[in-house]
Structure formats: C-alpha cells, structure tokens
C-alpha cells in the first residue's frame, strides 16, 4: 500500500503541476481548458486580447458554462462570445445581463483571395514593437471610442501568445502610427475538433487625423496575406450593422456575410449597443454628447433642453447647471462678450502681457495702404464669429483683400485686418485656469496618388473627416479652397502625382476639415503660462486659447483669439470632458482624483 508520505508527495507534485499549468496559460492569455480526450479539441477557450476576452462558443459544452464565463468579465473590459449557434438561447439564459451584439459577421475565403496589384504609397505595415507604438494605438482606440489596452499587454503577453498579431500602419514620411489592426490565428488556440478553424480580424482603426487614403484597406490586406501564408482557410470579422463605410470596404475586398452571431454583457461600455439614447439625445452633436456621456457615467441627471443647438441641463444633488456644449452658467455674460468681440479680446489679453498681432479695422483705405506697406501678408476676419467662418488667411493682393472684406461682412458689420504670422495653430484648452489639452491644428490637405482628381481626393478626405467627427468636420469646395489650389498651381480637375501634398485650406479650423494633433505632454511652459494669463484676464473658467507658434516646444507665440465654447471632443487621450464635469460638480469626482486635480502644478 502507498505510504502516507508518498501520498503527500504526490499531492504536492500534483498541486505544483496545476500551478505551473495555470501560470503557463495566464502567460499566453488563454484560460486553461478543461481536461479532454485525445480526439477532442480544447474546452472553454477564452483568449485575452487586452481590451477583453474572446470566448469561443463552440468550445463550451453547455450554455450555462458560456454564461458563467461571460459573468467573469473584468471591469472596464469588453468580452465577446463569438460563433454562437443559438444566440437567442444564450441571451434567454441571462436576459438581464446579456444582449445579442448588433453586428454582422463577414468572411474572406483565403483560398480565392488575390493580393492587390499595387501597394499604397507612403504607408508601411509592420508589427507593433515599442511602447511608443502601444501609446499611439491606444490614442487611436480612444479617438474611436474603443477600449484601450495596457501597453504592457502589447509588449509582453501578446508577444508570447502566438495566436495574436498586432499590426500598425506607419506614415513613412512622418514616422507616425496612423492605423492598427489585430489578428487572431484560431489554429493556435483551437486545433482539430475545436469548431473554431480559420482566423479573425479585430480592432481595425485608423487615426481620424490621418490624411493618407487606403490605410484601412492596407491593414486588412496585410493581415489577410499573413494568414493566407499560414494556411488559414478564411478570415472572419465582426462589424456593426450600420457601419456602411467599413462594410463597403470589406465587400470591395471580397468578404461575404455569414450567419455567425456574438453575445456581450450589458455594461457601461456596451450601453449604446443595447440601450440607444432617447431621440433628443441622439441628435446632440459630438461636443455636447461627449459631456452628456461623462455626466451619465458619474450618475448626474441629464435633461436635454434643445438637442439641435446642443443645450442640456445637468443636476447633481441640489446643484443644477444649464450648458450649451462646453459653455455653462459658470461663464459670465461679461466674459462671453469679451470673447465674442475679437478687438476687445485683444485689448484685454494684451493688458495681461500676452503678445498680440498688429490689427486695424477695415474701412479706412489710407490706414489699409499703410498697414499693407508694413506687412507682406494679412488676415481678414469678422470681428465677431466662430468656427473660422468668414476668415481668409495669407492675403497680399489688394483685390483679394477687398473681396475677403466683403465675405467677412456677411458675418459681422466690423471687419478686422491683422498681420499674418507664419506658423502653426496651437489650441490650448484651459479649464478652471489649468491646462487640460494642447493640440496643433493643421489645415486640411490632400495627398496625390497619381490617378485621382483633386476634387475626388477632397471629397474622399472630407468623407473621412465627417465620419471621424460625427459630421462636424468637412472640407468645403468653395472659393477659398479654389484660391488655395490656385496658389499651389492646380485646380479641382488636376491629378496630383503620387505622394504630392497640397494644402486646400489656409485656416486650421476643425469645421473646415482641419486636423488636431495632441501635444499636451510636450508644450512649452511659457505657452501654458500665457494661455492661463489670458483666461484669467478674461475671467473665463472654460476656454480655448488659440496661438500661432513656430513650434509647440518653443516659447514664441502670438495670441489669435479666445473661444468661450471650445470643442472638447477630438482631444484624445486628454480628459477634457472629465475636467469639465469636475469643474461643474467637484463632489462627483472620486476623492483620489479630486486630490490629484486640485494639486496639479499647471494651475495659474
């Protein structure tokens, strides 16, 4: 008979082997499968993708086991149960917790897939390989309202798990990551008898600021070709049923819809999928919706008072504040009046020691001639207005200036003529007299491909900008665009050689197709100090201060204007909406966050 010591040794050995097995699967990101026979595939397979787990339903023996696995979803994660044969049965097992994902599944037959005849110029597809890549991917995820992934996951666990492929698209001219996609090799996690053959595509996302066409297509093709080389029979993907732009791309590449379904948990991340907002709230623009969503996450009562104009009321306890996007009752009428009149704004901030450009009011021809003698180029803009309407930049010809004055007068009776300062537009979002976000704003531009007309390139870029901003950013095809094209020696009908860039607007406003590039972590402290001094001089608690700078890393600047209702969207990864709600309702902040925010060194 076995001795007591021998039994204890064997139990200890068994526990050690189990611990080793658990650690091995944790390292790969796979949940350890149940024991199975030699002819069976693995059981209860769940792949950790960083943003959540993929639960492969065919490997679960019972509906109950799959539901219990979904209940193990971690906070701030999004688990997805895929390849479910009877989704109605799974949802019925826990109707208060689960919902049927409103997405279509598409499949690409890799046996018949053919590579593109030509690769897109200016884009390099490669593996994610550094912390900088991981940060760039997370910024793209945040801009697309996707769940970010811990950089350590990309750089450690994902590398050890051969089932995962993380690709990035790099702009070869700037070195910037402008897109990403994740692939899952089912053969590495399933095997014979598992019911999960093939491969799948996840998290395809393109930087909304990217101007190069074909980034998404290049990522999909590269991933498909990798799996084709591995011998995978097909590539599957899941896409929301109303994402018409993505579906058009997939169908163009040869994907066909297949009857596969997915189930998710009802959690705050998925709320828009199973509980659409009321009709009024759905009509809010992205700037108002961003704030409303953050308020709801805090448990703050939201009442939409005029959806089309972006008005809403927030109530928390006994405190109630009416807002129009980022303009709230905390901003006084006096501060708003100062921002509304650019001549007054200029005088107020100049008295605070903020550097301002030279400026005159249009109407006196002698003054205009003297002004033009001092400055080679000028800016013409209405004294009152927003979103860059009526602003014409970089004028030197008298006829063009007079025409620009007439355009500006359609927005304001008084028109300003200002010295033109060469440089980049820098927007600094200041909330409660602290810097929250800083971003370089670049004018809309297009990149030629050697066969597409300028007009079509503008229309494509405009569609991408509109899709990325909820319809807020589009490139007009008006006289100002035509003037910019003429300065570059082209017209709407011209065909640009491959790789040539042409600026199609001189102003960098988001509403006319401009793009936003975050520089918060690198902006020069003198610029931050000047922005805060301007905000304090106006006595405005929430504002967007616009400078022209040679570089955000240098101290030189010229003040352009202060915005009383700055757009808080498109500043990912900076927490603009969070800081706005913190200002309105400080007691809705977690205690730890409140201590951090109130103690930050960037306050004025």
pLDDT tens digit sequence for 404-435: 898 889 888 888 998 988 899 999 999 999 99
pLDDT at 494 over 70: yes
Question: How confident is the model at residue 196, as a pLDDT?
Answer: 87
Other C-beta atoms lying within 10 Å of the C-beta of residue 517: 14
Sorting pLDDT into bands at 50, 70 and 90, what band is 345? Answer: very high
Q: What are the angstrom distances between the C-alpha of 318 and each of 292, 300, 330, 393? A: 18, 11, 16, 48
Q: Which helix (H) or strand (E) holds 98?
A: strand 98-100
* Cα–Cα distance, 132 to 125 (Å, whole number): 16
DSSP output for 221-280: HHHHHHHHHHT-SEEEEEEETT-HHHHHHHHHHT-EEE--EEEEE--GGGHHHHSPPPHH
pLDDT, one tens digit per residue, over 361-396 is: 888 888 888 888 888 889 998 988 776 778 888 888
pLDDT, one tens digit per residue, over 498-543 is: 888 899 987 777 888 888 889 999 999 999 999 999 999 999 999 9
Q: State the first-to-last Cα distance of the chain, in angstroms, to the nearest integer.
A: 81
Q: Environment class of residue 259 by beta-carbon count within 10 Å: exposed (0-12), middle (13-18) or buried (19+)?
A: exposed
Sorting pLDDT into bands at 50, 70 and 90, what band is 114? Answer: very high
Q: What phi, psi does 257 have (nearest 5°)?
A: -75, 140
Q: Sign of dihedral through CA atoms 572, 576, 582, 585? A: negative
Q: Where are the domains of the chain?
A: 107-254, 444-505
Cα dihedral 233→237→243→247 (10° resolution)? -10
CATH of 107-254, one of 2.60.40.3080, 3.90.1150.10, 3.40.630.30, 3.40.50.300: 3.40.630.30
Q: With contact defined as beta carbons under 8 Å apart, do 6 and 16 qualify?
A: no
* Cα–Cα distance, 548 to 56 (Å, whole number): 53
Structure tokens at 545: 């201060």
Q: What phi, psi does 547 have (nearest 5°)?
A: -120, 155
* Cα–Cα distance, 28 to 162 (Å, whole number): 8
Other C-beta atoms lying within 10 Å of the C-beta of residue 298: 16
Q: What residues does 419 pair with on adjacent strands? A: 378
Q: What phi, psi does 300 have (nearest 5°)?
A: -90, 135
Q: Environment class of residue 512 by beta-carbon count within 10 Å: exposed (0-12), middle (13-18) or buried (19+)?
A: buried
pTM summary value: 0.75
pLDDT, one tens digit per residue, over 144-157 is: 889 999 999 999 87
Q: What is the mean pLDDT of the chain?
A: 87
């Amino acid at each position: 008979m076995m001795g007591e010591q021998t039994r204890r040794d064997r139990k200890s050995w068994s526990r050690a082997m189990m611990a080793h097995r658990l650690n091995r699967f944790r390292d790969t990101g796979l949940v350890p499968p149940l024991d199975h026979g030699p002819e069976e595939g693995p059981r209860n397979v769940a792949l950790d993708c960083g943003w959540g787990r993929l639960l492969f339903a065919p490997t679960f023996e019972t509906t109950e086991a799959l539901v219990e696995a979904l209940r193990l979803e971690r906070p701030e994660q999004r688990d997805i149960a895929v390849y479910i044969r009877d989704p109605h049965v799974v949802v019925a097992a826990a109707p208060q917790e689960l919902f049927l994902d409103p997405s279509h599944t598409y499949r690409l037959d890799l046996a018949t897939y053919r590579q593109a005849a030509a690769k897109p110029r200016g884009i390099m597809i490669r593996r994610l390989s550094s912390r900088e890549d991981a940060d760039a991917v997370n910024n793209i995820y945040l801009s697309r309202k996707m769940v970010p992934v811990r950089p350590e996951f990309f750089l450690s666990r994902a590398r050890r798990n051969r089932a995962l492929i993380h690709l990035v698209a790099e702009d070869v001219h700037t070195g910037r990551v402008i897109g990403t996609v994740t692939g899952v090799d089912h053969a590495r996690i399933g095997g014979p008898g598992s019911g999960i053959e093939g491969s799948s595509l996840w998290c395809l996302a393109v930087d909304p600021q990217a101007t190069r066409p074909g980034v998404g297509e290049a990522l999909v093709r590269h991933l498909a070709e990798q799996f084709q080389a591995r011998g995978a029979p097909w590539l599957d993907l899941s896409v929301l049923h109303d994402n018409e732009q993505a579906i058009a791309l997939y169908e163009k590449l040869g994907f066909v819809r297949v009857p596969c379904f997915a189930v998710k948990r009802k959690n705050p991340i998925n709320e828009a999928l199973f509980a659409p907002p009321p009709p009024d709230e759905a009509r809010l623009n992205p700037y108002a919706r961003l704030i409303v969503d953050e308020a709801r996450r805090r448990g703050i009562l939201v009442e939409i008072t005029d959806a089309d104009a972006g008005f809403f009321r927030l109530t928390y306890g006994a405190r109630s504040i009416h807002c129009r996007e980022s303009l709230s009752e905390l901003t006084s009428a006096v501060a708003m009046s100062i921002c509304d009149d650019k001549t007054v704004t200029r005088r107020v901030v100049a008295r605070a020691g903020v550097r301002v450009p030279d400026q005159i009011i249009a109407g006196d021809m002698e003054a205009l001639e003297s002004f033009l003698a001092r400055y080679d180029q000028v800016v013409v803009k209405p004294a009152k207005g927003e979103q860059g309407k009526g602003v014409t930049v970089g004028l030197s010809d008298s006829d063009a200036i007079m025409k620009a004055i007439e355009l500006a007068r359609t927005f304001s009776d008084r028109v300003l003529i200002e010295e033109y300062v060469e440089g980049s537009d820098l927007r600094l979002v200041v909330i409660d007299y602290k810097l929250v976000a800083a971003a370089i704003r670049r004018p809309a531009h297009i990149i030629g491909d050697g066969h597409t007309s300028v007009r079509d390139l503008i229309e494509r870029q405009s569609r991408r900008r509109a899709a990325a901003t909820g319809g807020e950013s589009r490139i007009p095809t008006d006289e100002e665009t035509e003037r910019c094209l003429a300065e570059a020696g082209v017209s709407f009908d011209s065909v640009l050689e491959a790789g040539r860039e042409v600026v199609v607007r001189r102003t960098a406003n988001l509403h006319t197709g401009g793009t936003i590039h975050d520089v918060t972590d690198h902006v020069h402290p003198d610029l931050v100090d000047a922005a805060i001094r301007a905000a304090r001089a106006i006595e405005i608690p929430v504002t967007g201060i616009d400078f022209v700078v040679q570089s955000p890393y240098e101290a030189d600047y010229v003040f352009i204007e202060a915005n009383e209702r700055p757009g808080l969207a498109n500043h990912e990864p900076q927490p603009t909406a969070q800081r706005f709600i913190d200002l309105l309702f400080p007691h809705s902040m977690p205690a730890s966050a409140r201590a951090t925010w109130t103690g930050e060194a960037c306050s004025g």
